[in-house]
């Protein structure tokens, strides 16, 4: 991406297309220098390109992740090339010895990258705390889901927490779509999927380490599954990398469709922020 894209929209605050802040003000014609992160406004000229995270993985390894997921890697319907329509998504975290920015690449089952997840709005102080301490698990984390051109598709915000987490899902204008709300802190972790004042379904950890999840609708019917794939002992022990295969069993209607995809993309970065336990 060589510069911020211009939305065909009226003057307002929108997700920062450059990925440096949560929001940037669009004056109806151009992006401005006025930005906002975590409710604090500042000035940052809209220059430079938007960052779209990529993970250097061979296509064969991405396809291998699908195979390792077993039945969770079997497509149930035909997709159309969007993260919102593909039956299988492979979510790969960028391997780092120390994680300062959460970055993920999102592939289809053939290994083509469709989108990415990037963390936005972090101050230098917060980055330093992530290096020196584990206190960042209690802080607010904001992420953007972007396509390969850098266009923002979803915003994911996990507010500061002590014990239980919640994640706010928003559209590119910052309008809330729904929330993923942790229901318990002991045992197999469960989250409620909520939108418009209704509970649309649940996300259910299948073991105490919360590596695999089933996602169910309001009738308690499984509609999707998230399976962690094994990257090898050395990579698992010495880097922050996590990889997941997401299988969606059937086409879903909004807002459940958006919430299921959002859950799959933030299950590790936003829901399990502390690597020593479920976040």
Counted residue by residue, the chain has a size of: 279
- Give the pLDDT confidence score for residue 20 in this predicted structure: 86
> Token pair for residue 168?
């706010």
Spacing of C-alpha 234 from chain mean position: 25
pLDDT of residue 230: 64
For the chain, how far is it from start to end, CA to CA, in angstroms? 33
pLDDT at 231: 55
3-class state of residue 68 by DSSP: helix
| Beta bridge partners of residue 115, listed in sequence order | 106, 147
Query: Vertex 65, ends 193 and 205: CA angle to 5°?
Result: 30
CA separation for the pair 36, 41 (Å, rounded): 4
Are 30 and 24 a contacting pair, CB within 8 Å? no
Q: Give the pLDDT of the chain (279 residues) as one tens digit per residue.
A: 345 555 557 898 888 888 888 888 999 889 999 998 878 899 999 887 777 877 777 888 888 888 888 777 788 899 999 999 999 999 988 754 344 467 889 999 999 999 999 888 765 545 444 444 454 555 688 889 999 988 889 999 888 877 788 899 999 888 899 999 999 888 888 999 999 999 999 999 887 766 789 999 999 999 999 998 865 443 433 334 578 899 999 999 999 999 999 988 887 655 554 443 333
Q: Report the relative pairing of strands 113-120 and 176-182 from DSSP bridges.
A: unpaired
Is residue 35 within 8 A of residue 42, CB to CB? The reply is: yes
Q: Judge residue 254's burial from the number of C-beta atoms within 10 Å of its C-beta, 0-12 exposed, 13-18 middle, 19 or more buried.
A: exposed
CATH number of 59-266: 3.20.90
Domain extents in the chain: 1-49, 59-266
Instruction: For residues 91 and 247, give the distance between their C-alpha atoms in angstroms, rounded to a whole number.
Output: 11
pLDDT for residue 199 = 97
């Amino acid at each position: 991406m060589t510069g911020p894209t211009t939305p065909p929209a009226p003057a307002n605050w929108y997700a920062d297309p450059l990925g440096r802040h949560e929001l940037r003000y669009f004056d109806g014609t151009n992006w401005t220098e006025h930005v906002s992160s975590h409710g604090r406004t500042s000035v940052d000229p809209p220059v430079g390109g938007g960052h779209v995270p990529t993970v250097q993985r061979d296509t064969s390894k991405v396809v291998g992740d699908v195979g390792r997921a077993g039945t969770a890697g079997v497509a149930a319907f035909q997709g159309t090339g969007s993260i919102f329509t593909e039956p299988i998504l492979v979510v790969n975290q960028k391997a780092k010895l120390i994680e300062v920015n959460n970055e993920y690449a999102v592939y289809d089952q053939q290994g083509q990258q469709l989108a990415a997840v990037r963390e936005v709005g972090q101050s230098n102080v917060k980055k330093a705390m992530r290096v020196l301490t584990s206190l960042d698990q209690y802080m607010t984390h904001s992420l953007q889901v972007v396509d390969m051109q850098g266009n923002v598709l979803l915003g994911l915000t996990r507010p500061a927490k002590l014990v239980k987490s919640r994640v706010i899902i928003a559209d590119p204008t910052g309008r809330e779509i729904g929330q993923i709300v942790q229901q318990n802190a002991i045992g197999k972790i469960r989250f409620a999927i909520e939108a418009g004042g209704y509970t649309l379904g649940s996300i259910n950890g299948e073991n105490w380490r919360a590596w695999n999840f089933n996602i169910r609708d309001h009738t308690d019917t499984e509609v999707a599954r998230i399976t962690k794939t094994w990257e090898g002992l050395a990579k698992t022990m010495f880097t922050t990398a996590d990889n997941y295969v997401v299988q969606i069993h059937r086409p879903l209607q909004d807002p459940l469709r958006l919430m299921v995809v959002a859950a799959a993309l933030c299950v590790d970065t936003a829901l399990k922020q502390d690597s020593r336990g479920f976040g």
